[in-house]
Chain A
Amino acid sequence: MKTIIIQLVASFLGSLGFSLLFNVEKKKLLPCSLGGVFIWGVYLFCTHSLGLGDLAASAVSAGACQLFAEGMARLMKAPTTIFCIPALVPLIPGGSLYRTMDAVIARDWEKFYTNGAATLQITFGIALGLSLISGLLFTLHRKKKIEKN
């Protein structure tokens, strides 16, 4: 439990730090940072409670991230990416990339394969989640427009 709380607080600060780096406007800093906490919460829920693997868990959390960002974008009238990117930051597989490198130096090829695979799965899981949800929203939006006409 303690590690989970530390991770959630750290993901808030991490997302806040990246928001500053990406020159996010002041009044959007809080939603961007809270987005990071929310996404990491979703990821932890997926891996711990649902027992999903890296690929599925990161796809679901990235999908949640896209939904969150689209919602915030409508609410605050700004491009979606502004809320999406900082919130995604905790998902970036920096840890597993390091462990992959470390395994190469130690010539521990088994560890290399598991961590390398995790890095790739998380990366493509994120891409999958983002594009599927944005595609779905696009289609729904179009459908509404067509019905209106």
Chain B
Amino acid sequence: MDQNENKALLQGLLDFGEAMLCAGAEIGRVEDSLSRLCAAYGAEKADVFVITSSIVLTVQFQNGETLTGTRRIRKSGDLDFEKIAGLNALARESASSPVSIPRLKEKIRSIDGGCPRPLLLYAGSALASGAFALFFGGSPWDGLFSALFGLLICFFQRSLSKKSPNKAFFLFITSLICGCVICLLGKALPFLHVDMIIMGDIMLLVPGIAITTAARDMVIGDTISGATRLLECLVWAGMLAGGFMLSLLILGR
């Protein structure tokens, strides 16, 4: 392989890592897949270092050339399992029979370009928040209203979160607005249980999955990623709790 091809390969691999990390794959999986891909494309040695916010990849090629690339990851993407599965399959496939580099890039782009249908996201939000209101002991009415607020939260996530400076701010505003509206509704319709509706909707916003995976990353040795993620999540959980608490304070429990 000549120099230009080596460079193209490095960029392709960084694209791959970025796509995988942004789809919410575990740190270990990203590092593993990248090392395997490097070996498949004939690298003598590959050093991969991935943390939640950055990828560093140094590849030593057989012609003696060594290339290093860094990719800064800014967005903490939402979990997208179809992407993770697709990229994972691509990594396995390429590890046994490597495709040409332009083809690899093309495949990465086609997997990464897809986005979930909005209808499914709305349905998922409503279903999850409604179900958890019942789960925590709410009445069917609580479940129904929780599902309605689930739709509202999904709408916020799709519109407001892009305009927010950061996720902490977004969570605070969203939980404040939802908390206030839920409290007012609770006063207008006394048969509703405000706490059950809030609990159902908290499940959509709380970074519960992220906290547990962060804690797991720390236990299995990806300490830096785990620790930064964990702190990030604690801040988010605090802002979320702050927003709801403020709404409860303003309007009374």
Contacts and interface: CB of A to CB of B under 8 A. Distances in A.
B127 interface: yes
Interface stretch (B48-56, B63-71, B243-251): B243-251
B120 A20 contact: yes
A17 B129 contact: yes
Given A14-B128, A81-B25, A98 B81 contact: no
Contacts of B132: 10, 14, 94
Contacts of A53: none
Nearest to B237: A97
Interface in B75-111: 78-85, 88
Contact of A14 (B121, B203, B218, B249): B203
Nearest to A66: B216
A98 B212 contact: no
Given A11-B135, A123-B211, A101 B130 contact: no
B135 A10 contact: yes
A88 B79 CA distance: 14
Given A79-B29, A97-B237, A131-B220, A24 B82 contact: yes
A25 B253 CA distance: 41
B206 interface: yes
Given A22-B80, A131-B219, A98 B124 contact: no
B215 interface: yes
Q: Which of A89, A127, A131 has the most CB of B within 10 A?
A: A127
B227 interface: no
B148 interface: no
A6 B88 CA distance: 37
Interface in A77-117: 78-79, 81-82, 85, 88-90, 92-95, 97-98, 100-102, 104-106
Interface string A3-34: 10011011111101111111111001000000
Interface size class of A (residues with CB under 8 A): 35 or more
Interface in A40-88: 62, 78-79, 81-82, 85, 88
B253 A106 contact: yes
Interface string B203-216: 10010110111011
B248 A89 contact: no
Contacts of A104: 245
Contact of B116 (A10, A12, A23, A134): A23
B18 interface: no
A10 B128 CA distance: 9
Interface stretch (B35-43, B164-172, B194-202): B194-202
19 contacts: A11-B135, A13-B127, A17-B123, A19-B124, A24-B82, A79-B29, A81-B26, A81-B29, A81-B81, A82-B84, A88-B209, A89-B203, A98-B198, A101-B248, A104-B245, A105-B248, A126-B212, A128-B219, A131-B220
Interface of B: 25-26, 29, 78-85, 88, 116, 120-121, 123-132, 134-137, 195, 198-199, 202-203, 206, 208-209, 211-213, 215-216, 218-220, 237, 241, 244-245, 248-249, 253
